[in-house]
Amino acid sequence: MQKVFVAQHHAEAYFVDGLLRANGIESEVRGEALFTTIGGSSVIPGASPEVWVLNPAQVSQAAELIRRYSKGEALPESAGPAWQCPNCGEHHESQFATCWQCETAKPGPTSMGS
């Protein structure tokens, strides 16, 4: 497992997590709870939400996607229909693998080869 991205806020962390998952990279967001409980956490090292890649073999692929996202370059098109969270009803575009509202996983398979 390796940290590949430090987000400015939890929404950005979940966007990057969804981007990676939509491209077959198993990832997870860590540190979100710490970010929301510590005032001024954006200036405290280690208190921002982080995205971690679970499979070390996918780190370089993840790094390239994150580089493209960070530079505002074109990203791979997401495939599939938008989906609604079965837990809270929030609507999401297809590239998101986890509900940003309640963190429930997208129904059906989200891994496209680990």
The residue with greater pLDDT, 109 or 29, is 29
pLDDT for 110: 45
Residue 53 and residue 2: Cα distance in Å, rounded?
5
Question: Per the confidence metrics, is the pTM higher than 0.85?
Answer: no
Of the candidates 64, 46, 45, which has an alpha carbon nearest to the alpha carbon of residue 4? 64
- Tens of pLDDT, residues 25-84: 999 999 876 655 555 445 565 678 899 999 999 999 999 999 998 998 877 765 567 789
DSSP reduced 3-state for 64: helix
Sheet order of strands, 27-30 included: 2-6, 50-53, 27-30
Domains in the chain with CATH codes: 2-79 (3.30.70)
Taking the CA atoms of the chain, what radius of gyration do you get in angstroms? 14
Helix (H), strand (E) at residue 6: strand 2-6
Question: Distance from CA of residue 109 to its chain's centroid?
Answer: 16
pLDDT band at residue 112 under the 50/70/90 scheme: very low
The residue with greater pLDDT, 87 or 99, is 87
